[in-house]
Structure 1
């Protein structure tokens, strides 16, 4: 009898654990999937963190929060940002609280000591929730447009294209959204391999707090091109690198896509004056890759840069110059053969303008859009959406949301021919003014990769920022759970 009671209790607990996990990560009717299968359901909770924007007295930062309409439309939810200042954050006034899907909300901050932010979205506002942080520094050594999509906390990040060069100040920003301290290890890799960091092991990030580390304080060498590897021993963090160039502006360097044998960089501007590729081989083998540029009319091989060899454990840089030659494009890296199919991470450093009127942005390798991608802060005549279909022709639906000051969404299907890049201005919202969001959803054909460039020129300087648009992970696979009373049998 006791054995049966214990078995029944164990079965009940197991079922509760499984169904509880489904409630935490997905929603909807589990019966929609056949017995023994899994269904893709909208997430019920999302977490994002935003780094501290800028220490400049001339900085103005806009936060834009948005959740697209979808399967959970009509269900109640919350989405808000709070300062990452420990226990005091619970008493702070939420920034840019969102109350309904389909229309963005903005908030502006102009304090030089503005903190990092921790964001949570629940219920109907969780699936696909996106926050864009856009900072304009109008003058000084860091004058620039710095843009980043606030990121989900994780346990590992790769940042190719960081630097400790004399004219660069690169800060690694770490934000901990949880109630316990996180412990992080930081590794730096140059052209000859690992660089010994003085204080990169066991960095503590306070609970519901943040920290920033100037990379040049970790090593004595002035290294023009670095790969930064962040791993979390305990807890989880969000991470981003703020790169300030004394001659060419500044921007955020987001984490690159996970290591892979082939990579896609969607959306190099047509007027790029300089493009540098920084790559790092993460595995035990060297990587040999073919280099192609997906232009508007087809794929071409950049003259003089047909292939790329990346040694294991080392950072490699190649200067592609003005590779786009006046046409928007996307860089494609594919293994030269099966032997060269080693995993790498990589990012592009892109410059527009010349001389004293240069501006820099970064474009890391980007994941394909599985179901939907979103970028929150778009402005009329300032946004360019870049779409690339590396292998097969593809059709995607591009939707512009209502604006912050009203209006209605507008959608249209666009076709991207195989091996080409399509750069378009997103359709304007139907009436209404202010910022708007853009979503991209695959309709048919091959895989599609996307990015958005926001161009805000100032005093003759082509200030801009590029945000990659990976899948927004608004849904998760939830297994169907059924009771199995056979476990009660002796």
Structure 2
């Protein structure tokens, strides 16, 4: 487990040789790997043999907790979809993965178009170092997504994620939005509810048309669909169509029908004692369809010499 802070790689010798038995899960408390507390850290799980799946549970006694899934593969551009309209604090954390520095232009894609947040126009990330910037309540009451692009002529690969906080005082809760990949064909997310589910769609380049389909409920009902157009450079937040006679939870599938790339996420929330408990999950392409080779008749196979 490699940890990178604002000055480069952190010394964490106990994280360099972790053995995970097959078909098992092994928790590792990251704070025990370093000698002193550090904020804004990038984690890289480098696998020497075999294959693993990894996720981070981030816990803060004051602003809640959530699971942080892996960010999209390093690239020279990143889209982070699904900042809630009532976000009270947004922090951007980025890490430059290559040998070059990444100078990033920050843009907020909202319902009416894209803009550069005043005072937060760019973020400079040194090679193999982690940089962070607090963006405050940049959405100003409207849902949005963050788009990061190279600033100037140079471009260096990087990864990025957002920490989003809702609520105030002792009624705060946190979720994370890692950089996502576009939906090439379709993306699906499970466990939607009739209340508390919000779907966010972002078309950073060209306008796009998608079909949003809700499956039958886990306890009955029938599927429901609607087509939605997302204008170029905008973010659209909507409630998924409720299945006919829905009972229980249901899945939501987003299919790209036409236009440019589409990025999507789902916010799932429930209020408990006034606390806005929520989580945000990206909808990358689920690769649920495959190309099947076309077959032709060949009667020569029946010949018997």
Bigger helix fraction: 1
Name stretches of at least 5 consecutive residues in structure 1 with no aligned partner.
Answer: 1-185, 483-490
Which residue of 2 is the match for residue 204 of structure 1? 19
Q: For each residue in 1:228-265, what CA deviation from the matched residue of structure 2 results, as whole angstroms up to 9, or x when unmatched?
A: 00011111111000111111111000000000100001
In the alignment, structure 1 residue 352 sits paired with structure 2 residue 166: yes
Q: What is the deviation of 1:404?
A: 0.6
Q: 1:473, CA displacement in angstroms? A: 1.5
Within 5 Å, which residues of 2 pair with 1:47-446?
186-339=1-154, 341-446=155-260
Listed one character per residue, the Cα deviations across residues 120-179 of structure 1 (whole Å, up to 9, x for unaligned) are xxxxxxxxxxxxxxxxxxxxxxxxxxxxxxxxxxxxxxxxxxxxxxxxxxxxxxxxxxxx
Distance 1:197 1:457, change over 3 A: same
Q: Secondary structure at the match of 1:216?
A: helix
Separation in structure 2 between the aligned mates of residue 478 and residue 290 of structure 1, nearest angstrom: 41
In the alignment, structure 2 segments of 5+ residues that lack a partner are 297-305
Give the superposition deviation at 1:477: 5.3
Q: Secondary structure at the match of 2:272?
A: coil
What is the SS of the residue equivalent to 2:31?
helix
Aligned-pair CA distance for 1:366 = 0.2
Runs of 4 or more above 4 Å deviation: 476-482
Alignment size in residue pairs = 297
Distance 1:204 1:464 in 2: 33
Say yes or no: does 1:459 pair with 2:261: no
Query: How far is 1:212 from its partner?
Result: 0.4
Instruction: Tell me the distance in 2 between the aligned counterparts of 1:414 and 1:396.
Output: 5
Deviation of 1:415 (Å): 0.5
- How far residue 481 of structure 1 moved from its aligned partner, in angstroms, is 10
CA offset digits 1:16-57 (Å, max 9, x no partner): xxxxxxxxxxxxxxxxxxxxxxxxxxxxxxxxxxxxxxxxxx
Distance 1:378 1:304, change over 3 A: same
Give the TM-score normalised by the residue count of structure 1. 0.59
- Higher Rg of the two aligned structures: 1
**What is the rounded CA distance, in whole Å, between the counterparts of 2:133 and 2:23 in structure 1?**
39
Shift of 1:432: 2.6
Q: Secondary structure at the match of 1:418?
A: coil
1:202 CA displacement = 2.0
TM-score normalised over the length of structure 2: 0.95
For residue 210 of structure 1, give the secondary structure of its aligned residue in structure 2: coil
CA distance in 2, matches of 1:274, 1:481: 56
Cα distance, 1:480 vs structure 2 = 8.0
Q: How big is the shift at 1:337?
A: 3.0
Q: What secondary structure sits across from 1:288 in the alignment?
A: strand
Shift of 1:200: 1.1
Q: Secondary structure of 2:25's partner?
A: strand
The alpha carbon displacement at 1:278 in A equals 0.3
